[in-house]
Amino acid sequence: MAQDRRPAGRSERRVPGERKPREERWAQLLEVATQVFYEKGYEGASLQDIADRLGMLKGSLYYYIQSKEDLLFEVISEVHREGYAVVRTAAATGGDPLERLERTIRAHVEHACRNLVPTAVFLHELESLPAARRDAILGAGHAYQGVFRDLVAEAQRDGLARPDVDPRVAGLSILGSTNWVYRWFRPDGPSTPEEIGVQLAAMAVHGVATADALAARVAAVGA
């Protein structure tokens, strides 16, 4: 369903002295706010910090947002929207449900590793928002988590995942364990995002697949 992405409280007026196009300035505002929230935390950050980093007056921010909470909402919404697009695209590609689950986990991990700052802000500061605004971001049934949950359920229907696995618990486990990469992944570390994604995806699939499905996967690799 299409959504109105104009930020809460954002005015159509032109900011006096504004040189950059509004959409470019808005994107810069989100980027700078994300970095400041990452460095100082939501509670420790101020709109003045963000305005100073942008080289603009604090009052000019109110042409874009009404409050610091509005800005956090927009930052976290953007992070969620981008990540959700990544996993939905991966889940919709060809293959059986286990293959798509594996591909989706890899895509999620690689995206998180390449977007450490936004991922950290999302995971650290989501709870700073009121419940209603959190729900507005996550969607009914927690849509992001639902991508993983639904793939496990589909694998069960096809006889590829064990019937004793609870798809909801599996989805929570997969998303919780893969989200944690933001705490320990280092761009200059010994493993690339792709290598980490492959390993985490393989462990998750082995945790839900039937013995026959695993044997078939091994045979396909060896063929």
Residue 19 lies in a domain: no
Residue 111: band (very low, low, confident or very high) from pLDDT cuts 50, 70, 90 = very high
Residue 135 lies in a domain: yes
How many domains does the chain fold into? 1
Give the pLDDT score at 35.
97
Contact 27, 36 (CB under 8 A): no
Residue 36: band (very low, low, confident or very high) from pLDDT cuts 50, 70, 90 = very high
Model confidence at 12: pLDDT above 50: no
Domain, as residue range, for 127: 77-222
Give the pLDDT score at 219.
83
CATH assignment of the domain containing 174: 1.10.357.10
H helices then E strands: how many in the chain? 11, 0
Q: Where does residue 175 fall: left (phi above 0), alpha (psi -120 to 50 degrees), or beta otherwise?
A: alpha
Residue 41 lies in a domain: no
Mean pLDDT, range 101-119, rounded to an integer: 97
Residue 206 lies in a domain: yes
Residue 22: band (very low, low, confident or very high) from pLDDT cuts 50, 70, 90 = confident
Residue 223: band (very low, low, confident or very high) from pLDDT cuts 50, 70, 90 = low
CA distance 212 to 215: 5
Residue 102 tokens, joined: 């594996």
Q: Which residues contact 87 (CB under 8 A, 6 or more apart)?
A: 104, 107, 108, 111, 144, 147, 148
CA distance 98 to 159: 10
Model confidence at 20: pLDDT above 70: no
pTM across the whole model? 0.85
In the predicted model, what is the mean pLDDT of the chain?
Answer: 89
Residue 163 lies in a domain: yes
Residue 66 lies in a domain: no
pLDDT in tens, 187-205: 999 999 999 999 999 999 9
Residue 100 tokens, joined: 């798509």
